[in-house]
Amino acid sequence: MNSAEEMVVESAEIWKGSTLHNQEVENPSTDCSLSYNKSSSSVIKISLTCDAATAEPSQVLLVYRVSSITVKMGLVGQIMSLPNMLFWYGAWFTASVARPIALATVLCLLANPKAAQTKLKLFATTFQFLFLSKDKKWKKTAEDPASFFKDGEDDPKVTKKTVIFLRHGESTWNDTFNKGDRKLSAFIMGFFPGVFKSFATEWYFLVSGQCYESWFFDSPLSAKGISQAEAVAKFLRDTDPKFATPKEARLLKLIVGEETDDNNRKCQLISSNLRRAISTCSIALQDRLDKYAKDDKILILEELQEASINPDALSIAPAKAPLVTAFTDSDRVKEIYSTQSDTSLNKGNKPLDSNGLKRMQSFCKLLFDGEHIPAQNVLCTGHSYWFRAFFQTYLPKDFEHVSKKKKLINGGVVGFTMWHKKADNGDDKYMIDPKSLVILYGGF
């Protein structure tokens, strides 16, 4: 290498506006100097100049490697900095619009103080349950239900009822925060836009005085949830019991209100007091409700309310009061809410000290007390966690079934026979007959 011979080691693109200009860095271990020469607005050439009389080849090679790595790391750093840049630009935008939005919100709340007070109570209830409730936590009993029914259905003390579970369709809360059956990539790509949409919708309800409308609190059916409920209606409409098994045929006839082979037509419709459940029942059973409009009503029960501390599992409807519809409900569904719903047993939102087990036990008592629910057959529209906990609690301990491990899918339908008897100490005991379980639609 001749004295003062120049060698171009590396070149790379950098961010425009760089402050690096014609700098020279001396390497004290050699007679080499490293020059950064900015040749254009976006390109830098790195030049290495050495005195051949004193510089060793290995030393020159070492400088070359360091120079090359430094430039490449700069490109990686630029890519790695993108999330940070997006965060700070987002923070800047939020800070820019926060004040005018806050001012508009305050003015709208002052213009409609009654609606604002109702909405703020919902927010307060939400935080109470988030931090104080133990709705999903209870001590699981070691009792095996089968130990109280050793003689089976032949025991004269045993009374039986047919129970059908229908899970609600997808809610707006599920649409925002749960992956569901979407691909993971689609869920991730749509998550932040979905969160923005949901909060923007909630803010609109707040400032417009729609105090009982909410995306999060007692969340209603999403568009997909409505389609799932309509799919159940189509299944019931198109399925001919003649081509089903005897167990399936009986359940199908009970659901649609037809007389069964045992001359029993009465099947009481029951729903959780959460809107997504009531709306699912209204849509899925609309044909039946239209046919028996005068005497067919949906009984609303707080006992079926979902076991969760999230705001979507908190009921808006007050105790024994008219139900509150949602912005996603059709006119026919709103009519069913108004004229074909029975709220005489609805206790309103679950108490803060309640939990899922207490409500399951209370439901079983209502079912068999002979007074509140006299029908021998019931269809209950409710929720996945509550249903799974019910199967875990009342199926025999040694009986393995998918219902104990997985949740019933949105719009899924399953039927079974529930047993009840008085124990020797006078306590009420309940068990699901494991041989009676029938998955009618959707599954787990």
Q: What is the pTM of this model?
A: 0.78
Measure Cα distances from 72 to 45, 176, 299 in Å.
13, 40, 68
**pLDDT higher at 169 or 9:** 169
Instruction: Tell me how far apart the alpha carbons of residues 79 and 12 are, in angstroms, rounded to a whole number.
Output: 14
Within 8 A by CB and 6+ apart from 81, the residues are: none
Report which residue type is found at 325.
T
Instruction: Tell me how far apart the alpha carbons of residues 297 and 30 are, in angstroms, rounded to a whole number.
Output: 93
**Is the confidence at residue 26, as pLDDT, over 60?**
no
Within 8 A by CB and 6+ apart from 152, the residues are: 158
In the prediction, which pLDDT does 75 show? 60
**pLDDT higher at 268 or 74:** 268
Helical residues (DSSP H) of 208-274, grouped into ranges? 223-238, 246-256
In the prediction, which pLDDT does 42 show? 43
- State the pLDDT confidence band at 319, using cuts at 50, 70 and 90: very high
In the prediction, which pLDDT does 263 show? 60
- State the pLDDT confidence band at 3, using cuts at 50, 70 and 90: very low
**Is the confidence at residue 147, as pLDDT, over 90?**
yes
**Is the confidence at residue 17, as pLDDT, over 70?**
no
> Tokens standing for 155?
């025991």
For residue 269, what are the β-bridge partners?
A: 298, 379
- Region 152-170: mean pLDDT is 93
**pLDDT higher at 15 or 48:** 48
- CB 420, CB 368: distance < 8 Å: yes
Range in 81-90, 166-175, 206-215 with the lowest mean pLDDT = 81-90
With a pLDDT cut of 70, the percent of the chain lying above it is 81
**Is the confidence at residue 132, as pLDDT, over 60?**
yes
**Is the confidence at residue 45, as pLDDT, over 70?**
no
220-279 pLDDT per residue, tens: 999 999 999 999 999 999 999 999 999 999 999 999 998 776 666 689 999 999 999 999
Mean of the per-residue pLDDT values of the chain: 83
75-114 pLDDT per residue, tens: 666 677 777 777 777 777 777 777 778 887 888 878 888 8
Using DSSP's 3-state secondary structure scheme, residue 283 falls into helix
In the prediction, which pLDDT does 155 show? 87
**pLDDT higher at 107 or 174:** 174
Backbone angles phi, psi at 232, to 5 degrees: -65, -45
In the prediction, which pLDDT does 434 show? 96
In the prediction, which pLDDT does 67 show? 41
In the prediction, which pLDDT does 65 show? 37
In the prediction, which pLDDT does 113 show? 86
- State the pLDDT confidence band at 22, using cuts at 50, 70 and 90: very low
**pLDDT higher at 409 or 182:** 409
**CATH code assigned to 145-177+212-441:** 3.40.50.1240
Instruction: Tell me how far apart the alpha carbons of residues 209 and 303 are, in angstroms, rounded to a whole number.
Output: 30
**Is the confidence at residue 157, as pLDDT, over 50?**
yes
- Region 151-174: mean pLDDT is 93
Domain span(s) for CATH 3.40.50.1240 in the chain: 145-177+212-441
Place of tokens 């699912």: 280
283-303 pLDDT per residue, tens: 999 999 998 767 899 999 999
Instruction: Tell me how far apart the alpha carbons of residues 355 and 339 are, in angstroms, rounded to a whole number.
Output: 31
Half-sphere exposure of 123 (CA within 13 A, CB side): 11
Range in 61-70, 87-96, 322-331 with the lowest mean pLDDT = 61-70
Half-sphere exposure of 184 (CA within 13 A, CB side): 0
SS (H, E, C) 118-133: HHHHHHHHHHHHHHHC
- State the pLDDT confidence band at 24, using cuts at 50, 70 and 90: very low
